[in-house]
Chains A and B, each alone.
Chain A
């Protein structure tokens, strides 16, 4: 069979060879996408299987690491566009920002288009297989964020997508037909879903946006076959529940703590890790005294019950909108002489953290980007806040800006070199405090910011020693980026810029070895896969998805 002749001997392709053998057995699928079937066992092996990219972060550990090494600094000058797909924004797509990470399963690429559509493409040609759009009203609320979607989850024969109007759909992977749908929350209260769902064994996990509308957020699990809700865990406790002593009065009812970014999963510990966003209202902390648990935190949840096993709050009583909705990266490595199961997170608040992911114990918290709000992190993991660094009526200049030292766009971890790569925003803002009154379905902010001029800001891709946070190198960008990074076993780190370049850096030195002008801003994460034994790298510039390869 033709594929087998092309299979490389690289380690990363062994699983591809297995799949091609499977295709051979099934037969008659040589030039068409194979059966749409992604069992849970495949999701467990997602990162090791370089041919597919089955989940948002390329595996439950959320390393966004491609084990493929066919493309490397010796041959990257031959990298070229093999095909492109142009997205089709509609009148309800808002600004048409595309923040999706495509997934590739069995030679089909599934991606979302703003606001909440799903497209299936043949990975060889980019030809359309099917396209699905939900019936969204132009009056759908998106309070505090653009009309975007970050991607799908795949499990068995279904593709799962969460929508701007707070529904969750299961689509038939072969046709895009709706298998089931469920209303997760009320969009009229400001709830939206923009994240890529996370598929576990028989379950689909989602979180919500809406803290800028004063929602009380939660993490939900749904039965993957039926859509039945299995559990809901609120991120803001009701009176009497653990953590409720960090709120006063009725503040908890509008407390925020959104769960708008895909989490991670440790199948051995059987723990689900999910991050939470800002307390509401954002910038006026006087209206919600206390630490405001469990906002700006990472939660370790029992995936069967939703029960919270532990939590760690990165930014107690946040007043700068520094959501902790960044990717929790699961790392198994030796930390200070001891082999540990770690959770690494480069936080929007400009500090890099390591936790023990079994217990939630705080292990390390170090500044990785310029900031003016904390002297450091104390032994318990609590920031030592610099006085007068809060928003004020007159305006108060603080670094980083409300969009943080990084944001939702993904970091990458190379387990072979223990390097942690971050797309870093370097920008300050004048923070203002204002009055706020909660009204259902309306913005509940209590202030805002005026960001500094772009000429007083910059960006970078930085490489950290994942165990110490020591910066190994930086590659400077003109302006604070909105796009993530992906490391590969080929010794490369792929990243992008607002100026539209998709580039590759040498992972050891940070030196640029290749770049391509996509012709528009880039606001998503790179991903990679392989087909017919050939490595592919993917980015979206503007409305166009580009697939690169050597041949």
Chain B
């Protein structure tokens, strides 16, 4: 049995992996328990936390700490989801809630995923130039259909991430990486660096899937590999490593402020 098998070479721009199963959910780490939320918080803990996690970060149900919810485009739709459930999914209807309580929950759930208004640290127009030129960000990221798909797509990243997260991603991307939330498997690192040695050579790339028997990897050239674990010489998961270099030594402080500001404008 061949240990290394290049499955197929895709153009990185067209790469879509398990779109239905492993939907990428880029979660925003923001504090949620504001004072005004007490009633909503209590209701959330009672009715929602069992599946969505007490912090709303997901569990058997998906994370709610994101600005757009798949089944609830607006507050009216969210109210319908909370009271009526989503047929064909694990989301039950909490039809026993009073109208006031249901509305409190809508407000609370929305706040979980909303970013507070923050001042921009720099000039977004200058940041766009940094993105294209000095940062050469499109060599690894797809934005509005343009660029290479090595790292995460950046459409709408300004709605998902606050300024602090964006700055950290530019300067120290290894600290926190985007995650995949899977209903059955939990929250997994979506860009985990893996290093694999087989009798055919050494391989390094990002894990795209894994099970007890096999691991699938994509290297920086966009090639997919699939390995039988039992036949490997070594297999390492490099937690805390990112293929994205830190830009603190590449960009000036002003350029970092500007590119963070530009990313903050990417709301759709």
On A, residues with C-beta under 8 Å from B are: 89, 91-97, 138-139, 141-142, 144, 146-147, 212, 427, 432, 434-436, 441-445, 447-451, 453-455, 457, 475-480, 482, 497-501, 503, 512, 515, 521, 523
Whether A450 contacts B186 by the Cβ 8 Å rule is: no
Residues on the B chain within 8 Å of A457, using CB: 186
The answer on a CB contact under 8 Å between B239 and A455 is: yes
| Pair B192/A455 contact, Cβ less than 8 Å | yes
Chain B positions within 8 Å of A, measured between CB atoms, are: 42, 45-47, 49-50, 53-55, 57, 59-60, 85, 87-90, 92-93, 95-96, 179, 182-189, 192, 210-213, 230, 237, 239
Provide the bound-state CA to CA distance between A503 and B192, in Å: 26
Q: Report which of A89, A142, A427, A515 forms a contact with B213, defined as CB distance below 8 A.
A: A515
Q: In the assembled complex, how far is the CB of residue A378 from the closest CB belonging to chain B, in whole angstroms? A: 32
Q: Are B187 and A453 in contact (CB under 8 A)?
A: yes
Query: Given A138-B87, A443-B47, A453-B187, do A499 and B57 touch, yes or no (CB 8 Å)?
Result: no
Q: Which residues of B contact A434 (CB under 8 A)?
A: 42, 45, 54
CB distance from B186 to the nearest CB of A (A): 3
24 residue pairs of the A-B complex, CB under 8 angstroms, read: A89-B88, A94-B90, A95-B89, A95-B90, A95-B183, A144-B50, A146-B60, A432-B45, A434-B45, A436-B46, A444-B46, A445-B46, A447-B54, A448-B45, A451-B59, A453-B186, A454-B182, A455-B189, A478-B212, A498-B182, A498-B185, A499-B185, A501-B211, A521-B183
Q: How far is the CA of A548 from the CA of B153 in the complex (A)?
A: 42
A94→B89 contact, CB < 8 A: yes
B184-A521 in contact (CB<8A): yes
Q: A434-B42, A443-B50 are in contact. Are A94 and B92 (CB under 8 A)?
A: yes
Contacts of B55 in A (CB 8 A): 450
Q: How far is the CA of A521 from the CA of B87 in the complex (A)?
A: 20
Tell me, rounded to whole Å, the shortest Cβ–Cβ distance linking B195 to chain A: 16
User: Are A146 and B90 within 8 A (Cβ)?
Assistant: yes
Chain B residues contacting A144 (CB-CB under 8 Å) are 50
Given contacts A478-B212, A499-B211, contact A454 B186 (CB under 8 A): yes
Contacts A89-B88, A96-B88, A499-B211 known; A449 to B93 CB distance under 8 Å? no
With CB as the reference atom, state the residue of chain B lying closest to A92. B87
A478 and B46 contact, Cβ closer than 8 Å, known pairs A94-B92, A138-B93:
no
Contacting residues, chain B, for A212 (C-beta < 8 A) = 50
Contacts A147-B92, A449-B54, A454-B185 given; 20 further ones with Cβ under 8 A? A89-B88, A94-B88, A95-B89, A96-B88, A139-B93, A147-B90, A212-B50, A435-B42, A445-B45, A445-B46, A445-B49, A448-B50, A450-B59, A451-B59, A451-B186, A453-B187, A453-B188, A499-B211, A500-B211, A515-B212
Q: Which of B46, B93, B239 has the most CB of A within 10 A?
A: B46
Q: Are A445 and B50 in contact (CB under 8 A)?
A: yes
B88: chain A residues within 8 A (beta carbon)? 89, 91, 93-96
Q: Is the CB of A477 within 8 A of B212?
A: yes
Among A94, A427, A432, A454, point to the contact of B188 (Cβ < 8 A): A454
Partner pick for A475 among B87, B211, B212, B239, CB 8 A cutoff: B212
Identify the closest chain B residue to A482 (Cβ).
B184
Q: For A449, what are the chain B residues with a Cβ–Cβ distance below 8 Å?
A: 53-54, 59
B54 — nearest CB in chain A belongs to which residue? A448
Please, how many angstroms separate the alpha-carbon atoms of A141 and B96 in the complex? 10
Q: A94-B92, A139-B93, A453-B179 are in contact. Are A432 and B54 (CB under 8 A)?
A: yes
Which residues of chain A are within 8 angstroms of B87 by Cβ–Cβ distance? 91-92, 138
Q: Across the interface, name the chain A residue whose C-beta is closest to B51.
A: A146
**Interface SS, B side:** loop
Residues of A within 8 A of B85 (CB): 138
CB distance from A177 to the nearest CB of B (A): 29
> B53 near A450 (CB under 8 angstroms)?
yes
Shortest A395–chain B CB gap in Å is 8
From known contacts A94-B90, A434-B42, infer whether A478 and B211 are also in contact, taking CB-CB under 8 Å: yes
Cβ contacts under 8 Å, B212 to chain A: 475-478, 497, 499, 501, 503, 512, 515
In the complex, the answer to whether A450 meets B182 with C-beta atoms within 8 Å is no
Least CB separation from A446: chain B residue: B45
Asked if A455 and B188 sit within 8 Å, CB to CB, the answer is: yes
Give A451's nearest chain B residue, CB to CB.
B59
Closest residue of A by beta carbon distance from B55: A450
How far is A71 from B53 in the complex, measured between Cα atoms in Å?
Answer: 43
User: Assuming the A-B contacts A144-B50, A449-B53, are A442 and B96 also in contact, with contact meaning beta carbons closer than 8 angstroms in the complex?
Assistant: yes
Q: Which residue of A lies closest to B42 (CB)?
A: A435
Cα A97 to Cα B179 with chains together (Å): 24
Partner of A451, one of B53, B90, B93, B192: B53
Instruction: Identify which of A96, A475, A499 gathers the most chain B CB atoms within 10 Å of its CB.
Output: A499
CB-based nearest A residue for B180: A454
How far, in Å, is A141 (CB) from chain B's closest CB?
8
- For A523, the chain B residues whose CB sits under 8 A away are 184
Picked from B57, B92, B95, B186, the residue with its CB within 8 Å of the CB of A480 is: B186
Q: State A432–B57 Cα separation when bound (angstroms).
A: 14
Contact B96 A441, beta carbon cutoff 8 Å: yes
**Which residue of chain B lies nearest to A440 when distances are taken between CB atoms in the complex?**
B96
Interface centre among B49, B210, B212 (most CB of A within 10 A): B212
Alpha-carbon distance between A479 and B95 when the two chains are bound, in angstroms: 34
* A139 and B50 alpha carbons, distance in the complex (Å): 19
Nearest 6 pairs between A and B by C-beta?
A454-B186, A95-B90, A499-B211, A448-B54, A448-B49, A479-B185
Q: Which residues of A contact B60 (CB under 8 A)?
A: 146
Residues of B within 8 A of A479 (CB): 184-186, 188
Chain A residues whose CB sits within 8 angstroms of the CB of B210 once the complex forms: 478, 499
* Distance of A494 Cα from B90 Cα, bound (Å): 28
Complex Cα spacing A421 to B36, Å: 50
Chain A residues near B182 (CB-CB < 8 A): 454, 498
A438 to B186, CA, bound (A): 30
Taking a contact as CB atoms under 8 Å apart, the answer to whether B187 and A454 are in contact is: yes
Contact of B57 among A89, A435, A450, A455 (CB under 8 A): A450
User: Hey, which chain A residues are within 8 Å of B95, CB to CB?
Assistant: 139
Residue of A nearest to B95 (CB): A139
Nearest chain A CB to B112's CB is how many angstroms away? 13
Q: Give the chain A neighbours of B54 by CB distance below 8 A.
A: 432, 434, 447-450
Tell me, in angstroms, the Cα distance from A501 to B187 when the chains sit together. Answer: 19
Closest to A146 in B: B90
Q: Which residues of B contact A455 (CB under 8 A)?
A: 187-189, 192, 237, 239
CA distance A21 to B129 in the complex (A): 85
In the bound assembly, the distance between CA atoms of A480 and B187 in angstroms comes to 12
Bound: A480/B60 CA distance, A: 12
With a CB–CB cut-off of 8 A, which chain B residues contact A427? 186
A144 to B48, CA, bound (A): 10
How near does chain B come to A285, taking the closest CB pair, in angstroms? 16
Min Cβ gap B103→A in Å is: 17
